[in-house]
Amino acid sequence: MLASKVIERYQAFCPPSLSMEGDVSGLQIGTLQKDIQTVMVALDIRETTVAEAIEKKVDLIIVKHAPIFRPIKDLVADNLQTKIYLDLIQHDIAVYVSHTDIDVVTGGLNDWFCEALDITDTDYLHETQVGQGIGRIGTVEPQTLEELALKVKKVFGLDAVRLVTYGHQAQQYVERVALCGGSGDSFYKDALAKGADVYITGDIYYHTGQEMLTQGLLAIDPGHHIEVLFVEKIAQQLKEWKKEENWDITIEASTVSTNPFRHL
């Protein structure tokens, strides 16, 4: 079957029109006008992901983070970064990027995070277009910041989480929770405006953390890599569509870790 058939079904669920302005989404490498046998879902495309795709004879990768996110000055094989792109092209592996569209869409990544953490009565955090928005805000059963942080750590299988708090506030009770997968510290003022007690997001900048505390907002930083949930959920969805549409293809979920951080 054509790769375009898979992407048409994906876009019916997650329209690229939901992507935030200036975002990199859609087909980035290769063509969708080709027959495929194997589709793989991944969070990132690194050298390990490409090696895995080649070994599994993958024809199409649906990925959360765009492999090309800065201007390319050359495609020289001696450059290890550009070699990633050359290997994809050489092995005719198409790459479709689903970035902020899957963050925004109802029933997408941020809603899956809320389900995992028992955050209910949710609304979007930051409006991106009329009736749509990125991030979520909702409620949890009253619990201390420390209890919620430990739950985040357990649910996402992390070796650590960072708390944005002065020490004595770890036992402060929280109930109104804002959340945004990836790097969402730029939306912390939306969390404040919507009455959040605590904000869960990755890559919180040092001075932004200080500003949050000054304005009365606690935060939990579980890192950017929790977005790996995308892999499991989208692979599962593709398998359901495969059954419904009688697709004769193999669906793979990437098993290599692209998280660059470890904590001792």
Dihedrals φ, ψ of 84, to 5°? -55, -45
| Calpha distance 257→249 (Å, rounded) | 24
8 known member of a binding site: no
Dist. CA 49–CA 206, nearest whole Å = 31
65 labelled binding-site residue:
yes
Q: Can you give the length of the chain in residues?
A: 264
- 143 contact partners, CB below 8 Å, separation of at least 6: 151, 173, 174, 175
Reading the block at residue 223, the tokens are 């890192």
Q: Which of 165, 154, 151 is nearest to 209 (CA)?
A: 165
CA distance 174 to 185: 19
Nearest Cα neighbor of 138 from 158, 123, 117 is 123
What tokens appear for 158 in the block?
């992390």
Written as one string, the DSSP assignment of 105-147 is STTSHHHHHHHHTT-EEEEEEEEEETTEEEEEEEEEEEEEHHH
For residue 103, say whether it is annotated as part of any ligand binding site.
yes
Binding site members: 65, 103, 224, 227
Binding site members for a divalent metal cation: 65, 103, 224, 227
